[in-house]
Structure 1
Amino acid sequence: MIDFEWYRSFISIYKHQSVSAAARARFLTQPAMSQHLAALEAEVGEVLFIRAPRKMIPTDKGKELYARIVPLIENLETMTLEITHAASPTILAPIIRLGSAGEYFTKRALSRVHDLEVRFSVQFGITSALIESLQNDQLDLAIATQKLHLPGIEYTKIEEETFVIVVPFDAEVNVGEHSVEEWLNEQRWISYGLELPIIRRIWKEHFQKRPKIRPYHVMSDLRTILEAIEYGMGMSILPTYLIQESLQQQKVKVIFPDLTFTNELYAAYKIEQKQNPIYQHIIKGLKQT
């Protein structure tokens, strides 16, 4: 008789393309994972993977089996989680370890998830660090500003953020005989990093080149950059969701409104948690407009 755990191990190996990575994801030893696969292959009567260096390649039989059992296994796990949650209303809400950029969580995400029946343990950081924590099981979900194509990680788009050029409200903008690019190159810029990680996007999309500027100030927090602009310390490029209150209070203003770019934001999670109803509940909340 086939053990249900054999199927789960087979699915994990299929998704991770590695016995060792699948074992880590399932909190099993590598020998145990290999035993599950060998037992399933013996029961099926055919080889399910070709063992290549550093990679497990599914055979036609392996592909067929995966296509047939994945919907059944995922539906069964989802139903079990939903029944458990519904049958235990008095149990404390689950704790979800969520990673995000601090400014996005504070100014955008928090308003969308504050009323969910979930307890959050929030970690702030840049996308690369958050995805690494997700891979190492230190986070359950991460809000990512880009897709890093790593084994075992899947992404669901949440929304698009729009970035604009922001200056102090009383700043004078007089391009004169200069081109817009020349004028921008001469200004005092506040950057998120020395390599101009956000400023470069404007130049790439609108001028098809790298900017010829050196940042006057470097501040690795968009909220701090906004306050610096309010104090007249320079100009920068910020997401529109962050500056609404400052615009209304006439502390800053947007210049050259045609010079913008959009960036996609994603919820990132382990592939095996794709059908987790709690994760889907949070992602649905994050997608609210």
Structure 2
Amino acid sequence: MSLSRLRTFIEVYRQKSISAAARSLNLTQPAVSQHIAGLEATIGRRLFVRESQGVSPTAAADELAADVGDKLDSAEAALASARARSVEVAGALQIVGHVDFLAEVVAAELVPLLEVGVRVRLQSGDRDLIHQMLIDGDSDLGITAFPSTDPRLRSDLIRTERVLAVAAPAVAQRIHQAKDLKSALRAEPLLAYSLEIPLIDQWLEKNALGPLQVPPAMIGQDLRSLRSLLCRGFGWTALPEYLCRDYLAKGELLEIAAPVASTTLSYHLAWTPIALRQARVAHARQTLLWRLAGGLEGKGNAVTATSRKK
């Protein structure tokens, strides 16, 4: 049973489509069909049922995928890492992620890749765009605060940050002096990442304040734009600590004291298993995992251990 047939099977199983698997593997559809037919002949059981929209796996396919899927991913990643230590890894690397995290955290950790000739291309995006670009093969690696449950993606935890409610000193003092914290927060302009305001709602819920049910005065997916307004004395918001640590130290911002506790936000490095077959991508993944997770001990990173998301 060849590894190429197993890789083809796993890709068809994850994509639920022969044509999509062919595109991912850079094969023709007849070649993919031949691989599946050969594998079915080897094990003596049917693996997929053709449907109007793709294919549906049989019980035999479920069993085989459970037995070999992650093992095959690990083996191919190990081979790619080994190749990266002995071959030229120069070339373009596409990374998609949240724009403020790429700029303030990731960019400084790219030096080892740039020094060996990797040409890094950073692309900003929200959760949906990050996941879609990875699945479509338009990006090699993704960095996201919203881990995907899509079986076509894998991810590792790289950083966990405290989330703090912050404002300019005058605004924070006004809030602290009020008799009712929730009313004081409602009275100040709210700055948010999106209309869903997950960072703010989670902080409010953690501190038994419930949703404010007020529309944000401004929405900006680059959290640095919110920070800029805060420093000019306008409004309040909840930010990951890496974005406000220096400003708190200089007194340009103050933390709005949490009645119970601050919340946290975790960032993940994400990829598709097939992407790690490229030595350059496997090398970049290992480098970024070390630099962003294990390499950040003592720099305010709350969690440095990685955890594979299956």
Fold match (TM-score > 0.5): yes
Normalized per residue, the structure richer in helix is 2
Q: Give distance in 1, aligned partners of 2:69 and 2:216.
A: 54
For residues 142-157 of structure 1, the aligned pairs below 5 Å read 142-157=142-157
Are residue 269 (structure 1) and residue 268 (structure 2) matched?
A: no
Q: Percent identical across equivalent pairs?
A: 22
Task: For residues 165-210 of structure 1, give each alpha carbon's deviation from its aligned partner in whole angstroms, at most 9, with x where no partner exists.
Answer: 1111233235566321122111122222344343222233333632
Q: Which has the larger radius of gyration?
A: 1
Aligned amino acid, residue 170 of structure 2: D
Task: For residues 75-119 of structure 1, give each alpha carbon's deviation from its aligned partner in whole angstroms, at most 9, with x where no partner exists.
Answer: 3x445534543433xx46242210111111121222333333443
Q: Give distance in 2, aligned partners of 1:79 and 1:175.
A: 54
Are residue 93 (structure 1) and residue 90 (structure 2) matched?
A: yes
Q: Is the 8 A contact 2:165 2:239 kept in 1?
A: yes
Q: Is the 8 A contact 1:164 1:259 kept in 2?
A: no
Q: Is the 8 A contact 1:163 1:260 kept in 2?
A: yes
- In structure 2, do the counterparts of structure 1 residues 64 and 224 end up closer, same or farther at CA, with 3 Å as the change threshold? closer
Q: Is the 8 A contact 2:193 2:222 kept in 1?
A: yes
Aligned amino acid, residue 114 of structure 1: V
1:52, CA displacement in angstroms? Answer: 6.4
User: Where in structure 2 are there 5+ consecutive unaligned residues?
Assistant: 297-310
Task: For residues 220-259 of structure 1, give each alpha carbon's deviation from its aligned partner in whole angstroms, at most 9, with x where no partner exists.
Answer: 3211111111111222111111112212221111111445
**TM-score normalised to structure 1 length:** 0.84
Q: Is the 8 A contact 2:167 2:236 kept in 1?
A: yes
Q: Is the 8 A contact 1:147 1:155 kept in 2?
A: yes
**Which residue number in structure 2 is paired with residue 27 of structure 1?**
26
**Which residue number in structure 1 is paired with residue 109 of structure 2?**
112
- In structure 2, do the counterparts of structure 1 residues 52 and 284 end up closer, same or farther at CA, with 3 Å as the change threshold? farther
- In structure 2, do the counterparts of structure 1 residues 242 and 62 end up closer, same or farther at CA, with 3 Å as the change threshold? closer
**Which residue number in structure 2 is paired with residue 158 of structure 1?**
158
**Which residue number in structure 1 is paired with residue 42 of structure 2?**
43
- In structure 2, do the counterparts of structure 1 residues 65 and 97 end up closer, same or farther at CA, with 3 Å as the change threshold? closer
RMSD of aligned C-alpha atoms?
2.9
1:139, CA displacement in angstroms? Answer: 0.4
- In structure 2, do the counterparts of structure 1 residues 65 and 143 end up closer, same or farther at CA, with 3 Å as the change threshold? closer
- In structure 2, do the counterparts of structure 1 residues 252 and 30 end up closer, same or farther at CA, with 3 Å as the change threshold? same
Q: Is the 8 A contact 2:169 2:254 kept in 1?
A: yes
- In structure 2, do the counterparts of structure 1 residues 93 and 186 end up closer, same or farther at CA, with 3 Å as the change threshold? same
Q: Is the 8 A contact 1:23 1:33 kept in 2?
A: yes
**Range that drifts further, 188-197 or 103-112:** 188-197
User: Where in structure 1 are there 5+ consecutive unaligned residues?
Assistant: none
**Which residue number in structure 2 is paired with residue 284 of structure 1?**
290
Give every structure 1 segment of 4 or more consecutive aligned residues whose post-TM-superposition deviation is greater than 4 Å: 50-55, 174-177
Q: Is the 8 A contact 1:11 1:66 kept in 2?
A: no
Task: For residues 111-132 of structure 1, give each alpha carbon's deviation from its aligned partner in whole angstroms, at most 9, with x where no partner exists.
Answer: 3333334431110121211111
Q: SS of 2:157's equivalent?
A: strand
**Which residue number in structure 2 is paired with residue 254 of structure 1?**
255
Q: Give distance in 1, aligned partners of 2:137 and 2:199.
A: 29
**Range that drifts further, 111-120 or 149-158:** 111-120
**Which residue number in structure 2 is paired with residue 233 of structure 1?**
234
Q: Is the 8 A contact 2:167 2:237 kept in 1?
A: yes
Q: Give distance in 2, aligned partners of 1:70 and 1:105.
A: 29
Q: Give distance in 1, aligned partners of 2:202 and 2:66.
A: 41
Q: Is the 8 A contact 2:191 2:226 kept in 1?
A: yes
Q: SS of 1:42's equivalent?
A: helix
Q: Give distance in 1, aligned partners of 2:184 and 2:165.
A: 13
Aligned amino acid, residue 255 of structure 1: I
Aligned amino acid, residue 178 of structure 1: K
**Which residue number in structure 2 is paired with residue 136 of structure 1?**
136
For residues 51-90 of structure 1, the aligned pairs below 5 Å read 54-60=54-60, 63-64=63-64, 67=67, 71=71, 74-75=74-75, 77-78=76-77, 80-88=79-87
The number of aligned residues is: 285
